[in-house]
Amino acid sequence: MRFIHTADWQIGMKAASTGGAAEAVRQARLESAARVVALEADFLLVAGDTFEDNAVDRSLVQHTGEILARFHGPVFLLPGNHDPLQPGSVWDHAVWNQFPNLMVVREPRAFAVPGGTLIAAPLRETHSRRDPSAILAEITRPAGTVVAMSHGTVEGIDPDTEHHPISRHACSRARADYLALGHWHSTAFYPDAEGAIRTAYCGAHETTKFGERDSGNALRVQIENGLPIVESLRTGVLNWHKLDVQVQALGDIVALRDRIAALPERSLVKLEISGLLHAAEADLLRQLDEMGSRFLHLAIDASGLRPAADAGWEDLLPPGAVRMAARQLRERAAAGDSVASEALLELQALAAQAGA
Amino acid sequence: MIVRSIEVASFRCFDRAIKLSGLAPGLNVIHGPNGAGKSTLLLALRHGLLDSHSLSGAQVKQTMQPWGRALYPRILIVFEQGGMAWRIEKRFLSGASSRLEREENGVFRPVAEGKEADAQLRAMLLADGPQKGAAQEAHLGLLQVLWTPQGPPRLPAWSPAVRSTLQAAFGAALSSKAADNLAGLVNGRFLDYFTPTGQTKKSSPMVQLQQDVSAWQEKALTLKSQWEAAARSREHLGLLRSEIGEKESRAALLKPDVQAAAAHRSRLAEATNAELHSRQAFQTLDTRLSQWRADIETAHQLQRQMEAAGGDHKLANESLAAAAAQRPRIEALAREIEALHLSGLDAKAWPDLLRFRSLAETTTRLRRELSELQAPQDRAIAEIRRLQQQLEIKTAALDASSLKLSLEAESPQTLELAGEKIAIASGEIRELTSPQSISIRLPGIARITAASANPQAAGLELEVSDLGSRLAILLNGETTANLEERYTHSQAIQQKLTEADAELRPLSARRAEFEELASRRLEWTEQTPDIIGIREDWKSRKETLDKAKTEFDLPALAAAHATATAKLEGLTAQFSQINSRLAQHAASGPIGDLEGALRRAQTEAALARAGLQDLLAGAPANLASLESELSQLESSLALDRQTAAHLAGQLAALQTQNLYSRLAEAEERQSETASILGRHRRRAAAILLLKETLESARQNLTSSLPNQIAEEATRNWRRIAGPDAHPIRVSESWHPGGFHVPGAEAGMDEISGGEAEQISFATRLALATQLAQEERQLAVFDDAFLATDPARAENIIGLLAAASGRLQIIVLTCHPSRYATLPGARVFDLEKLKE
């Protein structure tokens, strides 16, 4: 038995943190979806949250269905907490009846799949404190290899998450050889006592936000003699970089600029710079900002940056009130006043302009 | 500004030209005795640099022209300013001129002449150069500070321009070009966001961005509200459909029970109906049988009455016959009496007269009696009899076909019968009869309706009603028996009247005869004396006659006979009717058949009642609640389905509106715009802080200027008076105000003249040194230390030497020996220069 385990496509999701790149981010998720369905396997499992919401545009549902239908084998779609099986949901769309290889899990049941059986139960609510995998044990299935599919939070991942909790023993409880999970966007494996990976989150097929660990993957699972072998495959097309950089010495910003310049073009970059800006490198900050046109999105937060008290620029300031003001702003900036830091940077820039 | 050389001619005491050239950029001592022209030289510098060449003659004569000489003053000064060498030459009075030149490649080249040269020079040296001559103290500009004239050591009141320049000098950046330039840039940035008064500019990018953020936020909120409503609708619809499914299941489970219950109820209704019909049939038969038996009994009674009436009639007949038999004897007796009574009279006519009178009285009485009797006419009584007979027949038939329902309450009940609520106590039996149908409603339980199976019942009821109405009209409130009795009585009277009339008619023709006879009889009676005996005999016979008449009263007996006859006839008629009804009863078979049928009906009714009891006993106890539950369930289902259809329609409509993508766009645009706005706000805040900090620094510097001056002046003063000298106090007007002494203040009036001189010098030097921070300046001290003791004068010399690093110092003195120790000083002997 060999299948693709994917989930959390979140098609149509909002991307408010990416500024003007939101639409590109949404398009990229469809592109990544196309990469998933091009993978070789006997069948494909989408373990929930195919869509960001049940209210996404119906044209998008149609388009997604068409992409899924390109997979050469059967595709099983599990309604998740973002797209629960409800009246008026995305699962009412005609596209799910349009292609014979697309099967939406509409009730707890077993499906015959190449090499064995799939058992799955849909989510019908956005929020619930019931274990959605509990019912899997009650599904009758023929003897042989059994793959289970569910959507929720495995106990212990996040103590603050109470919705759709999934027992750590859900796989064995369901008498399955492998439990394909969705909901968490990072790829994560849960080996059993013998070290076999029988429960796994495949992670989102495309990264959904800054700071997301190990997302943009799909899993290819091969089960032989009841033992799963899991292979993580890169499917994401975008690169999300969240950089928190501390600059101190002269030359640090040059190094940062070079580092940013080396990032791939289809990147979204969130850069937080703190530390000291030397007068000689003040212009580099502007250069960094101008590099934004190279990427899908570049957001720079330099509020933690303050001009270095090097021998350069402050001594060149006109003596008297200006120097006194600079000294006062530096003292406030040193005490953590970000506005004073920015004011000092403004003064530095203006002094440079006046000197020019 | 420092001076390289000065040449003066025709100026006060210098009627001849005098030239000081090669002035050192540092220390210079010009000495000469009193009146040698030291101060004049200083005056020439002031006029040459600051005054207009076109001063009036009076002014020139007063301030410049040598006394008593018609000479034209001329001043030539070479100086350095702004890193360049300049030369100014001014001539006054005749041929007055002014010429400003600048050294270029070692050669002075003209820059301006006349008033232009004057103005340019003033602008170069003074921000607010003198407008009307340099004589006025306020118009000296910085020379107020730099040049110390002879006289009291007090410092002058600083002009506004001097204060501004000093302020700038101490504040350095406050008015330096670099500082101004930078402040201008800061202000320019500030004005990008704010008005000059610090309000956010309407054209500021923040305003538009904030509007955009608000607009997107509002749009996002609206869309989010719709999106949440749609989500709720989906959840609601899901729950609703789930509930519909559950209700349908419940309804499906409930329906067989309800159907079974309904079937049972139908059977119960049928059984009830059957029981009712059987009971009604029984009651009908029972009624018929009762009626039959009653009719038989009535017939028997009538028969007995008829027998009794027949006896009476027979007795009456016999009495009447006996009376008739006695009649001849009574009449004979009467005739005898009459004969006795009317002996002598026409015995033949007298009985006729008496008969006439008796008949007349009888007919009168009978007519009165007849008129008072109000008996019905023949036709009326015949019609009454006919209607009575028909009514009895139809009533019997209707009664036989009527429904009879007996209701026995097992518990207190309130039922509705013909729209009226009737309360029945427990155990009370209510008999209900109706020809056509009976409808009883037991509120909350059932409505029971029984209908007659006889289709002619309605017609019979109408006929009975019609006959009753017609009979009532004829009876006019009387009973039939009364009318029958009166009719019989009237017939008898009529008969008597007829008979009396027949007898009276021939006697009436003899009325006149009878009247005469009566008159004569009266007369004869009075005239006959032995009539007494006759009369007694008559009386005796009369009594006998009356007794016989009483005993054999034929009319009374005839009346009694007539009554007995009428009664017998009435009974006979009734008997005939009963017989007729008995014949009707018997028409459907013998009474034994009816009794058999009644027993069978009774058995059937008992069976039907037992079956009904069985059904009632076996009826589901919760039939009503099951029906109610199913009904409520179906109503609820209908409502749920309607709501579900409505919600589904709403959702379908919302799905076409691309709600989520519009919400995403609104939130993304809001976030992006807010991010840009945030950057602008941070930058605006930074620029505002920068501007405020800069202004604050300026204000701090300005307010601390007296202290700074005092600090510098004290530093100078302590070099003169020693390190322990009290610190100088400087007033807000930047003038020395005395000392700070521990626990007190020492004013200028409280210190010695020498110290006052030294403090003024120390303060002036502090100010002059500040003015020379950017460019060396000329400081002139004209016999300024006359009150200072030698030791401190030596310290002053040291101080001057130190100050010469920034200042070109010219000391005008008549005591050159005091300055002999000045290192590197150029010394000019004015007397020698005049030679």
Whether the CB of B704 is below 8 Å from some CB of chain A: the reply is: no
Of the candidates A168, A162, A235, which has an alpha carbon nearest to the alpha carbon of residue A199? A168
Of the candidates B39, B529, B605, which has an alpha carbon nearest to the alpha carbon of residue B285? B605
The confidence score (pLDDT) of residue A104 equals 98
Name B829's bridge partners: B31
Region B574-600: mean pLDDT is 83
Nearest chain B alpha carbon to A83: B231
Q: Which domain holds residue B675?
A: 183-203+658-701
Asked if A52 and B660 come within 8 Å (Cβ–Cβ), the reply is yes
Q: How far is A338 from chain B (nearest CA, A)?
A: 9
Asked if A16 and B670 come within 8 Å (Cβ–Cβ), the reply is yes
Q: What is the pLDDT of residues B183-203, one digit of tens each?
A: 899 999 999 999 988 888 888
Distance of alpha carbon B395 from alpha carbon B468, whole angstroms: 10
Region B674-682: mean pLDDT is 90
Residue A13 confidence class, pLDDT cut points 50, 70, 90? very high
What are the backbone angles phi and psi of residue A251, rounded to the nearest 5°?
Answer: 105, -15
Asked if B179 and A15 come within 8 Å (Cβ–Cβ), the reply is no
Work out how many domains chain B is built from and give that number.
Answer: 3
Q: What is the pLDDT of residues A223-266, one digit of tens each?
A: 999 999 999 999 999 999 999 999 988 889 999 999 999 999 89
Reply yes or no on whether the pLDDT at B786 is more than 60.
Answer: yes
Give contacts of B 227-256 with A, CB under 8 A: 227, 230-231, 233-235, 237-238, 241
Q: Which of B231, B690, B697 sits opposite A324 (nearest CB)?
A: B697
The confidence score (pLDDT) of residue B529 equals 44
Q: Is residue B342 part of a domain?
A: yes
The domain A2-234 is placed in CATH, from the list 3.60.21.10, 3.40.190.10, 3.90.1300.10, 3.40.225.10, at 3.60.21.10
- Paired tokens of B111: 């820059």
Q: Is residue B611 part of a domain?
A: no
Q: Is residue B58 part of a domain?
A: yes
The answer to ipTM > 0.95 is no
Residue B173 confidence class, pLDDT cut points 50, 70, 90? very low
Name B736's bridge partners: B730
Asked if A55 and B230 come within 8 Å (Cβ–Cβ), the reply is yes
Could you tell me what percent of chain B has a pLDDT over 70? Answer: 93
Count interface pairs A-B at CB distance under 8 A: 165
Q: What is the pLDDT of residues A14-32, one digit of tens each?
A: 998 888 899 999 999 999 9
Q: What is the pLDDT of residues A81-130, one digit of tens each?
A: 999 999 989 999 999 999 999 999 999 999 999 999 999 999 999 999 99
The confidence score (pLDDT) of residue B445 equals 79
How far separated are the first and last CA of chain B, in Å rounded? 29
Reply yes or no on whether the pLDDT at B454 is more than 80.
Answer: no
Task: Give the angle B235-B239-B242 at the CA atoms, nearest 5°.
Answer: 140
Reply yes or no on whether the pLDDT at B530 is more than 60.
Answer: no
The confidence score (pLDDT) of residue B172 equals 47
Specify the range with the lowest mean pLDDT, choosing from A48-57, B308-317, B642-651: B308-317
Burial of B525 (C-beta count, 10 Å sphere; 0-12/13-18/19+): middle
Asked if B667 and A125 come within 8 Å (Cβ–Cβ), the reply is no
Region B255-261: mean pLDDT is 82
Asked whether residue B342 falls in the same domain as residue B451, the answer is: yes
- Paired tokens of B172: 């350095």
CATH of the domain at B61: 3.40.50.300
Q: What is the pLDDT of residues B805-816, one digit of tens each?
A: 889 999 999 888
Specify the range with the lowest mean pLDDT, choosing from A236-245, A290-299, B510-519: B510-519
Residue B135 confidence class, pLDDT cut points 50, 70, 90? low
Nearest chain B alpha carbon to A15: B668
Q: Is residue B52 part of a domain?
A: yes
Reply yes or no on whether the pLDDT at B526 is more than 80.
Answer: no
Q: What is the pLDDT of residues B66-120, one digit of tens each?
A: 888 888 999 999 999 988 999 999 999 888 999 999 999 999 999 999 999 988 8
Q: Is residue B351 part of a domain?
A: yes
The confidence score (pLDDT) of residue B617 equals 79
3-class secondary-structure state, position B129: coil
Q: Name, of A281-290, B572-581, B710-719, the range with top average pLDDT.
A: B710-719
Q: Is residue B722 part of a domain?
A: no
Q: How far is A220 from chain B (nearest CA, A)?
A: 32
Asked whether residue B198 falls in the same domain as residue B98, the answer is: no
- Which helix (DSSP H) or strand (DSSP E) does residue A145 occupy? strand A145-151
Asked whether residue B14 falls in the same domain as residue B75, the answer is: yes
Residues of chain A neighbouring B675 (CB-CB closer than 8 A): 19, 299
Q: Is residue B770 part of a domain?
A: no
Asked if B697 and A325 come within 8 Å (Cβ–Cβ), the reply is yes
Region B10-14: mean pLDDT is 90
Reply yes or no on whether the pLDDT at A352 is more than 80.
Answer: yes
The confidence score (pLDDT) of residue A320 equals 77
Distance of alpha carbon B450 from alpha carbon B405, whole angstroms: 9
- Which helix (DSSP H) or strand (DSSP E) does residue A198 occupy? strand A197-201
CA distances from B257 to A139, B244, B455, B620 (A): 33, 20, 39, 9
Give me the residue spans of the domains in chain A: 2-234, 239-355
Whether the CB of B173 is below 8 Å from some CB of chain A: the reply is: yes
Asked if A328 and B172 come within 8 Å (Cβ–Cβ), the reply is no
- Paired tokens of A7: 């989930």
Asked if A54 and B231 come within 8 Å (Cβ–Cβ), the reply is yes
β-bridge pairing A145-151 and A178-182:
parallel
Whether the CB of B273 is below 8 Å from some CB of chain A: the reply is: no
Q: Name, of A245-249, A284-288, A319-323, B538-542, the range with top average pLDDT.
A: A245-249
Residue B641 confidence class, pLDDT cut points 50, 70, 90? very high
Burial of B292 (C-beta count, 10 Å sphere; 0-12/13-18/19+): buried
